[in-house]
Structure 1
Amino acid sequence: METVGFAGKCKGMGILTFARCFSFSKAQHTLAAIADSVHIPSPAVSLNSSPDEQGYADTPEWKMFKSKDLGLSTSMINKPALTVLKGLQKTGYEAYLVGGCVRDLVLKRTPKDFDVLTTADLQEIRRNFSRCNIIGRRFPICHVHVRETIVEVSSFKTSERKGKNDFVEKKQKPTSCNDRDYARWRNCMRRDFTINGLMYDPYENVVYDYIGGLEDLKAGKVRTVIPAHSSFAEDCARILRGIRIAARLNFKFSRDTACAIKDHSHYILRLDKGRIMMEMNYMLAFGTGEASLRLLWRFGLLEILLPMQAAYLVSQGFRRRDKRSNMLLVLFTKLDELLAPDRPCHCSLWVSLLAFHLALAGEPQDALVITAFALSVRNGGNLKKAMDKSRKIYKKSKSFSPEVLDVVESESNEKVMNKILDLAGEVKSTLSAMTDADAVSQAMSKYYPQAPFSDLVFITIPTFSRVRSIFACVGGHREERVRSKEDVEINYRSLVDGELKELRFVFAKIVIDSLYVTHFDKKSDTDPS
């Protein structure tokens, strides 16, 4: 595959407290709103112990809250997860919602999914449900199929085998703590971040907080459960999960967690490429792409994961904490406006935006060419129709520098059409470079030679092929099956499944919405349908 870089050279380059707590308005998600809305009283009983000889901090106060005082009810749990919880409880097992779904419910956000933890072992779980598979070898869990949804179910018994945790092993069970509390605490201590360590029992109507998760929700803080350096050494995927959570919630990292992310950013190269792709998709395909890119850049992770995009930011003089925007970030802002945790996109869409932007960074084009290119993608390669519509609206485009040039009014249709075809070729070449280890490793050499070496390529062959298919209609065979101009609503099932018509439609929408103030799904003189 050919190398692509910027400017022609790098083109593309128990006994616990019941307390009242959260009272959130649905629209309040800022840190100020969280701090103002949360009240967590002191517990009636503290089961803390002093720091041990290893230097670990005190165990946070163990607390139990009435779920209704946190604003939680079973009506907030989706039907598949509720089906699994009921099935386990009816057969005599304890069953809890755990992790990020409890955090999101407390914050009145839509969970991406619901995870269940139970006292049943994996075989007992499988016997309870007709469609249940045990997956994973090292740390197996159950996938329970309920209609078209998969609910992840883990077992207390399996989690106890998840490697040695010195902090857990050193702590003795307090004399006032019963066995059930102790088992729940041990499970929470093996989790990644405190705000993911809440357990919700919807039948006892209580939420257990053994590790200070609610306090950190109040503070808008992402903090590891055990000391951050140890936590990331134990599981380096937590670095990327932390970025994703902070981006989604607009939270800050605790000081030690932030320092550990910077110090151990290279740990992520230990991860399997498939795992990296999964974590990147969680960041970019669920509505927090722009914030995730900013955090990856701020903490020195972007030059490892996406060196070509990092090279672009360096070439623009973009600082680590820069508040400015640019065309790359605007494209992902527009993507984020269309997505949500329960309305994600196929990974090929955000890869196509990365490739498209790098092509423009390497070979800037004018607004007329860019608009016609986007519309020809949407229209299945109909260049004439795209050209006619683009000439009516390009003068209303916003200005981006350096990717978008001034339009040369006197250029003929033939010359503009050739530029469109050239842009299509540049996008395909850039995509090839993004999947070429040599090209990736050279991306930072010109602009930031002291950056950590990375030739990481995590974009899979199927994703690469799907992205090429999105653009194949431009300059290739015209697609007869395209969306009608009256159909302006996004079909999210088709989008997450990666159907080409939907991918092309949304890609074009993002590009046009980035260039023009008026959205093209509204009838106006800039409606390019």
Structure 2
Amino acid sequence: MDGISIRRNSLLLSRLKSLLSLKRFRHSFVGTGAQDKSSVNRSKGSHLNPDSKLGKMDTSQRTQLDSRKLGLYSSMISEASWLVLKSLQARGFKAYLVGGCVRDLLLNRKPKDYDIITTANLKQVKKQFYRSYPSQIVGRRFPICIVHLKNTVIEVSSFETAVEGTIEKEKFLAAQKPPTCQKSDLVLWRDSMSRDFTVNSLFFNPFEHKIYDYANGLGDIKSLKLRTLIPAHISFTEDSARILRAVRIAARLCLSFSKEIESAISDLSFSVLSISQSRIMMELNYMLSYGAAQPSISLLQRVGLLEILLPFHAAYLTKQGRKYGENSTMLMKLLYNLDRLSSCEQPSDSGVWVGLFVFHMALVDKPQHPLVVFSLASLLYYGNWKAAVHFARLQIEVPISFEPELLEATAFISDRELAERVIQLAILIQESVHILTNADSLHEMMENFPGSACSGLVGFCTKKYEELHC
């Protein structure tokens, strides 16, 4: 076997081991403890804390607020972000934190990333950092300067980068323009209106301890509502990826859609097919690797997007959900347990959720005796056939029932027959990778998760059984 094949096999096994590790298995990876999506996210602090200072302040009539009164202090900002902000300020430029990071800091959540906007143009930003830290300007329609420092990526945009909108958008903005507004505020207002959602339109100046809110984004955070800055149909037509972002943000923070967003998603759902494969994969990974996989899949299903992105699993949830309730299905319980182990602070590898879907597809295609599933999972953890089977036989003493994935655990299975069935399940998983590869939205991702690598799983199971009988 050449070096590439060895690396691919090792990659697959490490991903499946992380998916089915004993620690996760002991926490009922396919157990009966799944809850509804709201309870999952409440445990992660998604809902507004009743003791939050944000919840006690009237923010509806104010565009500038003292961040300290809202519980947001400069000490909460990451070190890397501070270095960029201070460096730009030292050169005489104004710089603000903007977007989702401000929203998350107000909710006492660790931001997934930090975005900065400045009065410097992008060439000036790059010149400021390129000698000390790698930096480059990327993007055509929405250009930004990416600065790499302290193992962190900071995205810096410029107020000077104006994005042309549609005629409908420009008419809307002209009608909404504040009648009395200082020039500096007008620049901030105009940029805020170019963003996707009100909860992402906040600016934070940590040097002056000010939060700027021109669209009542703070009010929407308090009321757990997701609204677009401009009419949703115009916003989603301008950038179809905002449809997926809407699902991601709403699922992660337990926000409800405005009626406008509900209508726009219904009318424009198939426009997501025009989004690049890499962007679809990025959005799916953000949904599934950061602690909100279960509510994300549930919301995608509810608004009709899952059948476009993952048609096999959409059909499964439709059929099984009618019988048992969506959250009682094996897939949703797998996702629930994945969420218990992932967060923005500790996201899972993308291969974990891909492996989860592949594993589930194999079981739906050919239901298995529970002992076979437990044996494969524990074998990947122990790496020893005898220990794996001993652990697996103990687990099936507790009845587990899933339809159609698992057969009734009535008949006794000998060790030899069990080995044959485990290897056969590994082969089914390999075949399921090829099925998932055919999904257009996952094609690009699957180039890094090749079906041929699954042969390593089959070989691994076979080798461990043979070692026992040598």
Please classify the TM superposition score into its range, dividing by the shorter chain length.
0.7 to 0.9
Q: Which deviates more, 68-77 or 256-265? A: 256-265
Question: Take 2:367 and 2:283, find their aligned partners in 1: how far apart are those partners?
Answer: 31
Summarize the Cα distance change of 1:402–1:300 in structure 2 as closer, same or farther, 3 Å threshold. same
Of 183, 192, 208, which aligns to 1:179?
Answer: 183
TM-score normalized with structure 1 length = 0.74
Residue deviations 1:143-200, cap 9 Å, x none?
Answer: 1111211101000111x13444414652475453111100000000000000000000
Shift of 1:316: 1.3
Cα distance in structure 1, aligned partners of 2:352 and 2:234: 36
Equivalence for 1:88: 88
Q: Distance in 2 between matches of 1:478 and 1:124?
A: 59
Q: Residue type of the partner of 1:38?
A: G
Decide whether the 8 Å contact of 1:194 with 1:216 is kept in 2. yes
> What is the letter of the counterpart of residue 184 of structure 1?
L
- Quick one: distance in 2 between partners of 1:290 and 1:303? 16
> What CA distance in whole angstroms lies between the structure 1 residues aligned with 2:456 and 2:216?
47
Q: Does 1:71 align with 2:71?
A: yes
Give the structure 2 partner of residue 255 of structure 1: 259
Q: Which amino acid aligns with 1:241?
A: R
Counterpart in 2 of 1:222? Answer: 226
Aligned-residue RMSD, C-alpha: 2.7
Structure 1 residue 155 corresponds to structure 2 residue 163: no
Which residue is equivalent to 1:390?
Answer: 392
1:41 aligns with 2:44: no
SS at 1:462 equivalent: coil
Question: How far apart in 1 are the matches of 2:387 and 2:66?
Answer: 61
What runs of 5+ residues in structure 2 fail to find an aligned partner?
A: 1-41, 466-470
Q: What is the TM-score with the length of structure 2 in the denominator?
A: 0.83
Is 1:420 the counterpart of 2:437 in the alignment?
A: no
Give the equivalent residue in structure 2 for 1:195: 199
Greater displacement, 369-378 / 402-411: 402-411
Q: Tell whether the 8 Å contact from 2:59 to 2:218 is kept in structure 1 after alignment.
A: no
- Alignment partner of 1:462 out of 441, 448, 454: 448
Does residue 1:146 correspond to 2:177, yes or no? no
> Secondary structure of the residue that 2:397 maps to in structure 1?
helix
Q: Secondary structure at the match of 1:96?
A: strand
Q: Does structure 1 retain, via aligned residues, the 8 Å contact 2:376–2:422?
A: yes
Q: Report the count of equivalent residues.
A: 419
Percent of aligned positions with the same letter in both sequences? 41
Q: Is 1:351 the counterpart of 2:354 in the alignment?
A: yes
Contact 2:281 2:442 in 1 (8 A): no
Secondary structure, counterpart of 2:157 in structure 1: strand
User: Secondary structure of the equivalent of 1:150?
Assistant: strand
> For 2:244 and 2:425, how far apart are their aligned partners in 1?
33
Is the alpha carbon distance of 1:190 and 1:322 closer, same or farther for their aligned partners in structure 2, counting shifts above 3 Å?
farther
Q: For the Cα contact (< 8 Å) 2:111–2:344, is it kept in 1?
A: yes
Distance 1:472 1:137 in 2: 45
Counterpart Cα distance in 2 of 1:123 and 1:389: 60
Does 1 or 2 have the higher relative contact order (CA < 8 Å, sep 6+)?
2
Distance 1:312 1:35, change over 3 A: farther
Q: Does 1:335 align with 2:338?
A: yes
In the superposition, relative to structure 1, how do residues 276 and 104 fare at CA in structure 2: closer, same or farther (>3 Å)? same
In the alignment, the residues of structure 2 paired with residue 26 and residue 300 of structure 1 have an alpha-carbon distance, to the nearest angstrom, of: 27
Structure 1 residues 86 and 145, CA, compared in 2 at 3 Å: closer, same or farther? same
1:99 deviates by 0.4
After alignment, is 297-306 or 423-432 more displaced? 423-432
Determine if the alignment matches structure 1 residue 289 to structure 2 residue 275.
no
Instruction: Report the 3-state secondary structure (helix = DSSP H, G, I; strand = E; otherwise coil) of the residue aligned with 1:261.
Output: helix
Equivalent-residue separation in structure 2 for 1:386 and 1:157 (angstroms): 61
Identify which range, 240-249 or 255-264, moves more after superposition.
Answer: 255-264
Match of 2:405 in 1: 403
Residue aligning to 1:134: 137
How many Å separate the matches in 1 of 2:452 and 2:348?
13
Query: What is the deviation of 1:323?
Result: 5.6
In the TM superposition, what is the alpha-carbon distance from 1:465 to its structure 2 partner?
5.3
- 1:3-52 alpha-carbon deviations (Å, 9 max, x no partner): xxxxxxxxxxxxxxxxxxxxxx9985436949996144366xxxxxxxxx
Amino acid at match of 2:319: S
Select between 330-339 and 459-468 the one with higher mean Cα deviation: 459-468
CA distance in 1, matches of 2:147, 2:434: 38
1:371-419 Cα shifts (integer Å, max 9, x gaps): 0011122244x43432232123321253322312222443211111111
**Residues 182 and 418 of structure 1, relative CA distance in 2, 3 Å threshold:** same
The structure whose residues are more often helix, as a share, is 2
User: Per-residue displacement from partner, 1:419-448 (whole Å, max 9, x unpaired)?
Assistant: 1111111111111111125xx8xxxxxxxx
Q: Is the 8 A contact 2:66 2:209 kept in 1?
A: yes
Shift of 1:260: 1.1
Query: Residues of 1 paired with 2:403 and 2:284: CA distance?
Result: 27
Per-residue deviation at 1:135? 1.4
Are the equivalent residues in 2 in contact too, given 1:193–1:225 (CA < 8 A)?
A: yes
Unaligned regions of 5+ residues in structure 1, if any?
1-24, 44-60, 441-454, 480-529
Aligned-partner SS, 2:65: strand
Whole-Å separation in 1 of the counterparts to 2:452 and 2:93? 44
Instruction: Summarize the Cα distance change of 1:173–1:423 in structure 2 as closer, same or farther, 3 Å threshold.
Output: closer
Q: Does 1:210 align with 2:214?
A: yes
